[in-house]
């Protein structure tokens, strides 16, 4: 995500010192937002692994000897995710930007943040609804991951470069299929991937009845 942001900046303008520093900070904010999303997602899905290691709530349960019914590990992990979100907001707010650029960055950020939450909601809602349409699966994939994994980082990079709205929109649109492909491949790996290579259990999405194109 930060790499896409950086290369969108490079594609639209040569990054001078101020722009480069701003891009690094905004990229860091995006990563902190991603950290929040992953920690919360693991708690909501009761996932035990993340990137080949115990998920945060699992690690906390082991550290404190908590039972499977103890609410502490999950609650503490949610707080850690909240802290990552707060740090993301602080990092973005403290980034020095010209006022017109700041307003555009904040506008993209607000949309990206809302899309991420809406996608997570659809992911959860899909487990308790009979809707198994491809349309719902694609909408969930776009909102939960594709937008903030590719389209929005590209858009942020273009905005930081001072690109005009037309070019900014085209870059964001170019990222949409790449972000969707990323999520669809992740869905495939979540079912058929080798956990020793993917770093996460196989079959969780199928067992939970999540709205993916595979189900």
CB 140 within 8 A of CB 211: yes
pLDDT at position 168: 96
Over residues 10-28, the mean pLDDT reads 92
Non-local (6+) Cβ contacts of 117 within 8 A are none
Of 192, 107, 98, 176, the closest CA to residue 143 belongs to 176
Q: How many CB atoms lie within 10 A of CB 53?
A: 10
Query: Domains, the chain, ranges and CATH?
Result: 2-208 (1.10.600.10)
Residue 210 scores a pLDDT above 80: no
Indicate whether 116 pLDDT > 90. Answer: yes
Q: Give the Cα separation of 57 and 208 in Å (integer).
A: 19
pLDDT of residue 205: 67
Sign, CA dihedral 166-27-119-135, equals positive
Q: Which residues of 108-144 are buried (b: 16+ CB within 10 A; e: fewer)?
A: bbeebbebbebbbebbbebeeeeeeeeebbbbbbbbb
Q: Cα angle vertex 122, ends 118, 126, to 5°?
A: 175
Render 180-193 in DSSP notation, one character per residue.
HHHHHHHHHHHHHS
User: And the tokens for 36?
Assistant: 């929040």
- The pLDDT tens digits for 144-192 are 888 999 999 999 999 999 999 999 999 999 999 999 998 888 888 877 7
The pLDDT-based confidence of 133 (bands split at 50, 70, 90) is confident
User: What whole-number percentage of the chain has pLDDT above 70?
Assistant: 93
pTM summary value = 0.88
pLDDT at position 52: 81
Q: Mean pLDDT for the chain? A: 90
pLDDT for 51 equals 82
Q: What is the pLDDT of residue 208?
A: 66
Lowest average pLDDT, out of 47-51, 93-97, 160-164, goes to 47-51
Element (H, E) at 53: strand 53-54
Two tokens at 214? 């595979």
Residue 215 — pLDDT band, cuts 50, 70, 90? Answer: low
Residue with tokens 């996608």: 119
Q: Report strand pairing: 49-50 vs 53-54.
A: antiparallel
| pLDDT computed for residue 209 by the predictor | 65
| Confidence band for 203, pLDDT divided at 50, 70 and 90 | low
């Amino acid at each position: 995500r930060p790499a896409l942001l950086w290369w969108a900046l490079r594609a639209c303008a040569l990054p001078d010192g101020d722009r480069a520093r701003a891009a690094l900070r905004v990229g860091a904010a995006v990563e902190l937002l991603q950290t929040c999303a992953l920690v919360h997602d693991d708690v909501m899905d009761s996932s035990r692994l993340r990137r080949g290691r115990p998920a945060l709530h699992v690690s906390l349960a082991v550290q404190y000897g908590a039972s499977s019914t103890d609410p502490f590990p999950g609650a503490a992990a949610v707080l850690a995710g909240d802290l990552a979100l707060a740090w993301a907001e602080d990092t973005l707010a403290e980034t020095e930007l010209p006022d017109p650029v700041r307003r555009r960055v904040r506008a993209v950020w607000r949309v990206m943040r809302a899309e991420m939450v809406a996608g997570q909601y659809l992911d959860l809602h899909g487990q308790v609804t009979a809707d198994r349409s491809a349309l719902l699966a694609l909408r969930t994939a776009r909102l939960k991951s594709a937008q903030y994994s590719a389209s929005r980082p590209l858009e942020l990079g273009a905005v930081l470069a001072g690109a005009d709205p037309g070019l900014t929109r085209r870059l964001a649109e170019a990222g949409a299929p790449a972000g969707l492909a990323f999520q669809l491949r992740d869905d495939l790996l979540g079912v058929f991937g080798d956990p020793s290579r993917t770093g996460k259990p196989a079959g969780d999405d199928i067992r939970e009845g999540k709205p993916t194109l595979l189900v």
